[in-house]
Structures are given as structure tokens and as C-alpha cells.
Amino acid sequence: MNEITDTTSFAPPADEAGFDPIEDRLRANVRATIEAMFEEELEAFIGRCRYGRGDGVQKGYRHGHRERQLTGTFGTETVRVPRARIEDEAGKVTEWRSEALPRYRRLTKKAEALIAAVYLAGTNTRRVKRALFGLCEGAVSKDVVSRAWRKVKVDWDAWSDRSLADEDIVRLILDGTVIKTRLDRKATNISVLAAIGVRRDGQKVLLSIRNMGGESTAA
């Protein structure tokens, strides 16, 4: 495991009343922490350290780094992701891909969830940008909000269409609640109904949640 040993001293600027030494130190180490995680992931995959020799057959060979831009609750950072060529049993050579940072991902999952939650609470894309400006250091644009929402929509559709055949449900609980959300570009309150299943071991699991217009018997 790589260690972060940067202990550079710092002094709070006297003329900056809003300076937060805790936030400043955390953000300064974000990039090093993320890059160390990628290095550990690749080391575990190919079976040896960056400059070491592992036991057994080597799964791949390093060949430099690529830069990726990533936006999270820590702001936007340009990080260096290690590259490697891997060869399968048939002799086909492909490029190693990080599971922690899939191809084309620009937002962390927590950032996506945060943006989607603010948007669904009834805030439009411009207001989301302003609301998260300080937290994400101005990195949340209208396009970023739109991409995050589209990703949530795809995940929601997949979850709604999933099979429940393997769920060992022995009891069903039907309930309803009122939530504030965006509908036709306007903030509004809607009634949603939830179906909650209880597994044989007593664990509860959300089976479905739908907007049925109210909590009537028919709904």
C-alpha cells in the first residue's frame, strides 16, 4: 500500500477570513490519494508493484499514464491514471481499465447522487450550479447537472425493470408518502406509493415505488 508522506507546512493567510485549514489540507491531498488508489488497483491486477517483480506469470505491462478529469464533492481534479497492456489466454492484447474509474466517468457516485438529490428536490439546473458552486469549486455546470440526471434516469429504469424472481418475500407492506420534486420544470408535491417486501430472514427490501396520484384503495 502506498503511503502519502507529503507533510508540507502551511500557514493560514492573515488577510483571508474565510480560509479553512482543514478543508485546504484535505483538498491538497485528494489528488495524491486518488492516484495512489489507481496504482494499488493496477498492482493488484497484474500481480506486482510498479518497479518490482512478482511471482508467477505477469498479467500485463505498464506503459505510462493518462490524465483524467474527475469532479467530486472535493471539487475538480486532474488525476494521472496508470496505463497497462494486458494479454488474454488467446493472445489478444487489450488496454487495462480501472474499475474504480470506468471509461467516460467524470463524476464520482457521491457527486452524482448529490446533484440528483438537489435537482429532484425542485431546484433547476442553474440553481443547482449556484448551490454547489462553493462545495465543488465551481465545477458543476448545467451540462454536468444534465449528465448526472440522465445517469440517474438510466439507473432508475434498470432498477424498475429488474426481476424479483429470486427475492424470498414472505410479507408485503404497502405505504405512501408525499415528496417534493420537479415535474414539468416546476417544483411540486406528489404522492408516491411504496411496496416493501419482508424476506424470510426478516430483512426489508424496497420492491417498487410509484406515483399513483394518491393513496386511494384503487391506487
Grouped pLDDT means (10 residues each) for the chain, 219 residues: 45 54 78 91 77 59 89 83 86 88 83 76 66 63 73 86 92 87 72 92 92 77
pLDDT at 7: 42
Cut 0.75: pTM above it = no
pLDDT at 2: 46
Domain-by-domain residue ranges, the chain?
A: 21-106, 110-160, 169-211
pLDDT at 137: 60
3-state secondary structure the chain: CCCCCCCCCCCCCCCCCCCCHHHHHHHHHHHHHHHHHHHHHHHHHHCCCCCCCCCCCCCEEEEEEEEEEEEECCEEEEEEEEEEEEECCCCCEEECCCCCCCCCCCECHHHHHHHHHHHHCCCCHHHHHHHCCCCCCCCCCHHHHHHHHHHHHHHHHHHHCCCCCCCCEEEEEEEEEEEEEEECCEEEEEEEEEEEEEECCCCEEEEEEEECCCCCCCC
